[in-house]
Each structure stands twice: as C-alpha cells, then as structure tokens.
Structure 1
C-alpha cells in the first residue's frame, strides 16, 4: 500500500492518503478574533482547499470529529456546518468538548474522506 503525506511537517502532516482514504489532521481557525460560527466557517474553507488539493471534496467525507472548546458553541458551530455540508452527503459525525491546544480556538475539525 502506498502512503502519501501531504504538507508534512516535523510533528504532523496536514493530510495522509492511504488505501483510497484521506485522513485530515485537526484543522483549526486562522482567525481567532471571531465567534464560533466564523471560526467554523474558516476551518471548513481550509478543509475544502485541502480536499481539492487531494482530488476529493466535501461530498466524499465519511467521518468527522468536531472538537469544541465549549459545548455552549454547539449551535453557533452548526450554523456554519449546516450551510456547508451538502444535503444527502452528511458524514458520520461526533462532536465533543475538549481543551484545545490554543485557548483562542473555539473549534477544531478532524475528518476522513474518500479520494
């Protein structure tokens, strides 16, 4: 099996492709001066870009884990998510509260997509 590491760094690769699946590293917002809806939209735009670079798109996502620093932001995160996810192509999904590495991050999203 061939394994491709996309944008590899010292600690992690932004994505790994193996056996026809794309595994994205946890994606976090670039702009932390905005609310949870805007941070989520920022992360989803990054996901769109990465998936396109790897020959896939959001309609091919099979599994998603969303980490929220505060579950009080669940509805705000879903505003951006619901506007973004394609109808009829919703992936399996879990949303959990977690202490994120940067206190300014309200959301982090990790997912697996088919190539």
Structure 2
C-alpha cells in the first residue's frame, strides 16, 4: 500500500499532499486587499514553509502555475518571483489571468516539487 501524507487537511482540501516522492501544494494566496507585490511575498513565504515541512525546497520545484487577477500585475509579481526563485533550478512555469476566489486576491500560486 502506497503512503499518502496530507499536510494541514481541512474539510475541503489539504494545503499539501505528498505521494511517491512528490509534493503538490494547494493554491496559495496572500492577504486579501494587499497589492500584488505584498501578496506575492506572502505566498512565497507560505510556499517555503510548506515545502520545508514536506521535506523539499524551492530548488526542487518542478512546476509552478501562477494566476493573476489582472495581467497588469505581471511585472510586480515577477520582480518578487525573480528575487526568490533558485536561479540554478528554475521550474517550468505558466502564468495566466483569471478571476480568483475573491476580488481581494491579486495573485495565486500553486507548485509541485520533488521531495528529498
């Protein structure tokens, strides 16, 4: 039987799921109402913490998907991302514009990473 570990599970979702050497993070958002820069900083801090808890790190991210409420925030989000991402191990990444759960969210990021 294969072990599946769920970090911070709730009734609707877990913040992360670990299975077979891979960790999948739920979409992470920052403080509602903050600008894209502040939200991106908060999100990346949350990602760092969840990856550490899962036994991984940003150097082991395989894929990142970023949603912006408005592509006008692309440069602001990228400035924070570029300062954070491991330049020796950048993940595959996609960024798209779409409605988020509430208009107070400007950025949402989900990542998948290798554990170990």
Aligned-residue Cα RMSD (Å) equals: 0.8
Q: What does 1:80-91 align with in structure 2 at a 5 Å threshold?
A: 80-91=80-91
Tell me if structure 1 keeps the 8 A contact 2:51–2:58: yes
Tell me if structure 1 keeps the 8 A contact 2:33–2:105: no
Secondary structure of the residue aligned to 1:8 is coil
Higher strand fraction (1 or 2):
1
Partner of 1:2: 3
Equivalent-residue separation in structure 2 for 1:100 and 1:112 (angstroms): 20
Per the TM alignment, residue 15 of structure 1 is displaced from its structure 2 partner at its CA by 0.3
Q: May I ask how many residue pairs the two structures share in their alignment?
A: 114
Which ranges in structure 2 are unaligned for 5 or more consecutive residues? none
TM-score normalised over the length of structure 2: 0.95
Partner of 2:15: 14
Secondary structure of the residue aligned to 1:10 is coil
TM-score normalised over the length of structure 1: 0.96
Equivalent-residue separation in structure 1 for 2:96 and 2:63 (angstroms): 14
Per the TM alignment, residue 34 of structure 1 is displaced from its structure 2 partner at its CA by 2.6
